[in-house]
């Protein structure tokens, strides 16, 4: 499939553009001395269900991720910057929809990492996974790249076609288009 119009697609941030789970594990190791856990051990978004970490520690790490107060840098997922830059250079605006409660800091992070004019990047923070649908419909997006499988099912019901960005936490069966890398995603998007 290579016919998705660049202006019809939007992107989740955490787990799709930003390698948030790797940073989660780095903070767990460096700040809380928790070792022996890998990204593959994260088999669900409900971290307390799949990781042997006290819930209070999980909450503290997530808080650091959200307020971006961690000392270690949040890194882009391999290939994301190159593909998003190519899309923007071809004239597409870049729309990101996140369940984070505030999009300012992650928006600054995106603008610092993706070398395009800042006004080409739009970030919508919904505060919940379920609110993404309304934002995407209002923005006229018909495709959304997402790593949370439960959100993909809800988007599909609303007529938005999800593209699952393969991660260890979304390995349940599903009927959606799935990509395992940004280059693979790039092959799905129509080139000018």
CATH code (residue 171) = 3.40.50.1000
- Mean of the per-residue pLDDT values of the chain: 93
Q: Using one digit for the tens of pLDDT, what is the confidence trace for 149-181?
A: 999 999 999 999 999 999 999 999 999 999 999
Residue 156 CB contacts under 8 Å (≥ 6 apart), including other chains:
162, 176
- Asked if residue 46 and residue 99 are part of one domain, the reply reads no
Long-range Cβ contacts of 106-114 (<8 Å, 24+ apart) = 106/13, 106/18, 106/68, 109/18, 109/68, 109/74, 110/13, 110/17, 113/76, 113/81, 114/81, 114/84, 114/85, 114/88
- Asked if residue 181 and residue 111 are part of one domain, the reply reads yes
Segments forming the whole domain that contains residue 24: 20-67
**Nearest-angstrom CA–CA distance, 65 and 156:** 28
In contact, 78 and 70? CB cutoff 8 Å: no
Q: Using one digit for the tens of pLDDT, what is the confidence trace for 29-39?
A: 999 999 999 99
This model's pTM is above 0.85: yes
The pLDDT, as a whole number, for residue 17 is 98
For residues 40-68, average pLDDT? 93
């Amino acid at each position: 499939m290579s016919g998705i119009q660049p202006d019809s697609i939007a992107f989740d941030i955490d787990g799709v553009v930003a390698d948030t789970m790797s940073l989660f594990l780095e903070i767990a190791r460096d700040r809380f001395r928790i070792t022996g856990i890998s990204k593959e051990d994260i088999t669900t978004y409900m971290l307390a269900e799949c990781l042997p970490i006290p819930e209070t520690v999980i909450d503290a790490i997530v808080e650091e991720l959200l307020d971006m107060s961690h000392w270690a840098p949040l890194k882009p997922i391999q290939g994301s910057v190159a593909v998003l830059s190519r899309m923007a250079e071809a004239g597409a605006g870049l729309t990101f929809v996140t369940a984070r409660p505030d999009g300012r800091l992650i928006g600054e992070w995106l603008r610092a990492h993706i070398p395009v004019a800042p006004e080409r990047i739009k970030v919508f923070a919904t505060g919940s996974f379920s609110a993404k649908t309304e934002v995407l419909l209002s923005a006229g997006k018909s495709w959304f790249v997402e790593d949370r499988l439960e959100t993909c099912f809800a988007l599909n019901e609303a007529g938005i076609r999800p593209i699952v960005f393969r991660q260890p936490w979304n390995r349940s069966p599903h009927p959606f288009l799935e990509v395992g890398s940004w280059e693979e995603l790039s092959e799905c998007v129509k080139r000018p």
